[in-house]
Structures are given as structure tokens and as C-alpha cells.
Amino acid sequence: MRASDAGFTGISPFGYGQSSLRFAELWNYRTAEIPAPLLIVRLASKGRAFVTLKVKCMQFRPAIPADMDRIYMMGFDVWAEGSNEDEYLSGCRNSPKYAQGKWFVLEHDQELLSSLIVYSLDPENSVFGIGSIATPAQSRRQGHASTLVRATVEHFRRQRPDARFTLYSDISSEFYERLGFAKLPQELQPYADSTCMIHPADAVGLLESQQIRVPKYF
Ligand SMILES: CC(C)(COP(=O)(O)OP(=O)(O)OC[C@H]1O[C@@H](n2cnc3c(N)ncnc32)[C@H](O)[C@@H]1OP(=O)(O)O)[C@@H](O)C(=O)NCCC(=O)NCCS
């Protein structure tokens, strides 16, 4: 199956209710080309330098089945909890939680650069949960996860301008604050070891006034 065949038509993976059908539209996607300038300096044979500006196009798209093991392995170093590769992959492939979400990837030249999963948590209030953000260890600190989170938010907002995104941060929350997320106030944080955050930042008020619920860990 090619990536371009992976469009999500018809029924949402979250059910068959009326709101789910509206939600299903969100899985119809357009792959987005994300240009990232790449400056290449080449030395000609006589010592003259040529500077070439190339545009490296990364693609944002939903994952296809052939991507899945590579996606799961992106977080192996932090999420394996002592299991070996086979045990870890088996757990991911059979995860009931993962089965409820949709994976998205950032790709360049058939290399998967970063991945995440999106859950529909509260379709009526356009609340989505972003989880399992990971970049392969050898490709970290090059901006890939940041690009993927931004592309995901833009993708959903194009179809649902009021879309809100929650996540649980297991790393420093500054990373997500740079991407427009805000921490929930301490009294609304359900867990001590993970920080619940929301995008856009001004949606914190909706949680404080209980117009939307604080999501359970997902
Ligand atoms: C966190 C992660 C997804 C970032 O991916 P990335 O492609 O390297 O992200 P970016 O290049 O866009 O941003 C890098 C920034 O992430 C932040 N960051 C990455 N890992 C971090 C960590 N363990 N603790 C705190 N901040 C971290 C830093 O601010 C870093 O900036 P720096 O390079 O200037 O230090 C990647 O490190 C990863 O896959 N980690 C393992 C899985 C994981 O922990 N996921 C997060 C769950 S909440």
C-alpha cells in the first residue's frame, strides 16, 4: 500500500455515532510538503566554493501499516522498560490503546523522522489527545518532533478550526510550551510524574471552568 492510498474514508475508528461521522472527516488528509532549507557548500576542483541552496521537502502524512514497526521502535530506548525488542514490538502491535488512535509521521526520502498518535478524546468539544511523540535516537535534536507537532495541529485546524490538543509531557514542559502548549494549573494536574498540557494556551480556561474535562492519561 502506498502512503497516498491510506486515506481514511467513511467511518472513524472511534465509533459510528453522528459526532463520530463528522469526526471521520478529520482523517481525510492532504499530505503536506514541509520545506526546510538545507545549505550545501561544495568545493569545486580549483578550490572555488559554490553555495547551493537546496530545499529538503519533508512530508507529513498518516502512517500506513508498513510504517508501524519503525514507528514503535522510535521510542524503544525510553519505553521498553526492560523488555527486549520482540517483546516490546509485540506489546505495541497488540496494544488496545494504540488501536484507538491514528498515527502520523514526518518523512523525508522514505526515512521516517518522527511520529505521534492522535486520539479523539471529546469529539463534541473538538478535543484531541496527542501521544507517543518520538524521533529515532539518531535523528533527534534536529527539529523533527517540533515540525511534526506543528504540522499535526495545522492539519486538524484546517478542518476543525476550534480543535484543541491535550498531551501528557514526560519531559520538560518547555519543549511543548515552545510549540504553543500551556500547563494546566497545579490543582488540575491528575498525576505527579507527568504534566498535562493543552493547545492553544488560552484553552486552559475551558478546563478551569469545566467546559471541557481534564483527560485521563492516554
Ligand atoms: C522528545 C523527543 C520526541 C524530541 O524529538 P526531537 O526530534 O529531538 O525534537 P526537536 O528536535 O524538535 O526538539 C529538541 C528539543 O526537545 C527537548 N527535549 C528532547 N528530549 C528531551 C528530554 N528528555 N527532556 C527534556 N527536553 C527534551 C529539548 O528542548 C530539545 O532541545 P535542544 O536540542 O535544544 O536541547 C525525542 O527526544 C524522543 O523521541 N524521545 C524519546 C521519547 C519521548 O520521551 N517522547 C516524549 C514523550 S512526552
> Nearest residue CA, atom 43 of ligand 1?
134
> Using CA atoms, how far apart are residues 26 and 155, in angstroms rounded to an integer?
9
Q: Which atom of ligand 1 sits closest to the CA of residue 168?
A: 48
Residue 65's pLDDT is 97
What element of type H or E holds 108?
strand 102-108
Whether the model clears a pTM of 0.85, i.e. scores above it, the answer is: no
Residue 218's pLDDT is 76
* Pocket of ligand 1, beta carbon within 6 A: 74-75, 78, 114, 133-135, 140-146, 169-172, 175
Cα 52 to ligand 1 centroid, rounded to whole Å: 30
Domains of the chain: 3-162 (3.40.630.30)
Nearest to 32 by CA among 62, 61, 67, 54: 61
> Using CA atoms, how far apart are residues 44 and 47, in angstroms rounded to an integer?
5
The residue to which cell 518547555 is assigned = 174
CA angle 57, 62, 67 (to 5 degrees): 90
Nearest to 164 by CA among 201, 191, 216, 116: 201
How many angstroms separate the Cα of 98 from the Cα of each of 29, 65, 68, 156? Answer: 20, 13, 11, 19
> Nearest residue CA, atom 18 of ligand 1?
175
Residue 217's pLDDT is 76
Mutate to test the pocket of ligand 1, among 70, 141, 144, 183 (most ligand atoms within 8 A of CB): 141
> Using CA atoms, how far apart are residues 173 and 93, in angstroms rounded to an integer?
29
Complete DSSP assignment for 174-217: HHHHTTT-EEPPGGG---SSSEEEEESGGGHHHHHTTSSPPPPP
Cα 8 to ligand 1 centroid, rounded to whole Å: 29
In this structure, what C-alpha cell is assigned to residue 3? 502512503
Radius of gyration of the chain (CA): 19
Mutate to test the pocket of ligand 1, among 88, 105, 135, 195 (most ligand atoms within 8 A of CB): 135
The residue to which cell 453522528 is assigned = 18
Q: How confident is the prediction along the chain (218 residues), in pLDDT tens digits per residue? A: 444 333 332 222 332 233 333 444 445 455 566 766 655 555 555 666 666 555 668 999 999 999 999 999 999 999 999 999 999 999 999 999 999 999 999 999 999 999 999 999 999 999 999 999 999 999 999 999 999 999 999 999 999 999 999 999 999 999 999 999 999 999 999 999 999 999 999 999 999 999 999 998 77
Cα 94 to ligand 1 centroid, rounded to whole Å: 26
Residue 4's pLDDT is 39
Q: Percentages helix, strand, coil for the chain, rounded to the nearest 5?
A: 35, 30, 35
In this structure, what C-alpha cell is assigned to residue 41? 557548500
How many angstroms separate the Cα of 90 from the Cα of each of 87, 121, 137, 180, 203? Answer: 5, 25, 20, 34, 37
